């Protein structure tokens, strides 16, 4: 009698249980409440990612605007005009941090005779600031040889910089007020201020002081040592970070 062979079929796998989103969310919430330090790690990672992205964007902008940033002939220059490294500063005469950072700039120039400071007149603190910068730009055009002294006196002025205080310093240094006021009305003065605003916007600069050194935008009054370290790195490897 033949033996009937019965083929066994594999049992159908049980369907996977549907994900319970409410339960998952509750578990995630409970985990985060029990381990809140993870949120700090996430925040730090996000900030680091954003800083890297910003640095890359600013580096690209610096490369695209290199001549306008470092070698714009209309910008006043302190230190060695033929120096091998330029530190570009965006400043406002009424910026308290800029006033405190002035001593850093002076010390850097005294300690490094090859350093060139390029000044970007960037009035962002109201009408008084804009008026004082207009006087400064006009003075720079008329008496460029005395601009460094004018700049240091106005930036170190004990009080709010304004058209009046800037004009007082300018005339004390020998400028003719009528000539200065006529120059202030020249359309090129307004155009230079607008160009600086546009450049700052492209570089992501929103406050003062801000510096451009090599391939980096450096924000804030970070002190002489920090800035000089970046200068040294640019000399060594062409970047502020070697």
pLDDT at 58: 83
Cβ–Cβ < 8 Å for 92, 208: yes
pLDDT at 6: 47
Residue 26, pLDDT above cutoff 90: no
Give the phi and the psi of residue 8 in degrees, each rounded to 5: -85, 135
Residue 15, pLDDT above cutoff 70: no
Cα–Cα distance for residue pair 41/167, rounded to 1 Å: 53
pLDDT cut 90: percent of the chain above it: 75
From 144, 45, 22, 164, select the one nearest 93 (Cα to Cα).
164
- Other C-beta atoms closer than 10 Å to the C-beta of 184 total 20
What Rg value do the Cα atoms of the chain yield, rounded? 30
pLDDT at 14: 55
Confidence category of residue 154, pLDDT binned at 50, 70, 90:
very high
Mean residue pLDDT of the chain comes to: 90
To 5 degrees, how large is the angle CA 126–CA 169–CA 116?
A: 80
Confidence category of residue 17, pLDDT binned at 50, 70, 90:
low
Confidence category of residue 27, pLDDT binned at 50, 70, 90:
confident
pLDDT at 215: 93
- Other C-beta atoms closer than 10 Å to the C-beta of 22 total 8
Give the phi and the psi of residue 206 in degrees, each rounded to 5: -120, -5
Name residues whose C-beta falls within 8 Å of residue 220's C-beta, 6 or more positions apart in sequence. 97, 207, 209, 210
pLDDT at 28: 82
From 197, 69, 34, select the one nearest 124 (Cα to Cα).
197
pLDDT per residue as tens digits for the range 156-215: 999 999 999 999 999 999 999 999 999 999 999 999 999 999 999 999 999 999 999 999
pLDDT per residue as tens digits for the range 99-117: 999 999 999 999 999 999 9
pLDDT at 53: 74
pLDDT at 105: 96
pLDDT at 18: 53
Strand partners, 221: none
pLDDT per residue as tens digits for the range 129-139: 999 999 999 99
């Amino acid at each position: 009698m033949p033996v009937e062979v019965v083929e066994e079929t594999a049992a159908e796998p049980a369907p996977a249980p549907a994900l319970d989103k409410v339960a998952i969310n509750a578990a995630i919430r409970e985990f985060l409440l029990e381990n809140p330090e993870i949120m700090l790690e996430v925040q730090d990672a996000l900030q680091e990612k954003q800083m890297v992205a910003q640095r890359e964007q600013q580096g690209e902008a610096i490369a695209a605007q290199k001549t306008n940033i470092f070698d714009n002939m209309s910008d006043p220059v302190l230190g060695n005009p033929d120096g091998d490294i330029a530190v570009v500063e965006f400043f406002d005469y009424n910026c308290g941090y800029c006033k405190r950072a002035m001593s850093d700039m002076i010390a850097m120039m005294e300690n490094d005779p090859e350093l060139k400071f390029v000044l970007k007149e960037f009035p962002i603190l109201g009408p008084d600031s804009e008026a004082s910068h207009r006087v400064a730009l006009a003075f720079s055009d008329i008496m460029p040889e005395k601009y460094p002294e004018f700049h240091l006196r106005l930036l170190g002025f004990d009080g709010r910089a304004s058209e009046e205080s800037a004009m007082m310093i300018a005339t004390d240094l020998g400028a003719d007020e009528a000539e200065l006021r006529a120059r202030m009305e020249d359309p090129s003065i307004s155009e230079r201020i607008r160009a600086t605003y546009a450049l700052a916007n492209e570089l992501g600069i929103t406050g003062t002081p801000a510096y451009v050194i090599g391939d980096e935008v450096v924000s804030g009054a970070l002190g002489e040592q920090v800035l000089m370290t970046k200068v040294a790195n640019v000399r060594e490897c062409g970047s502020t970070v070697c």
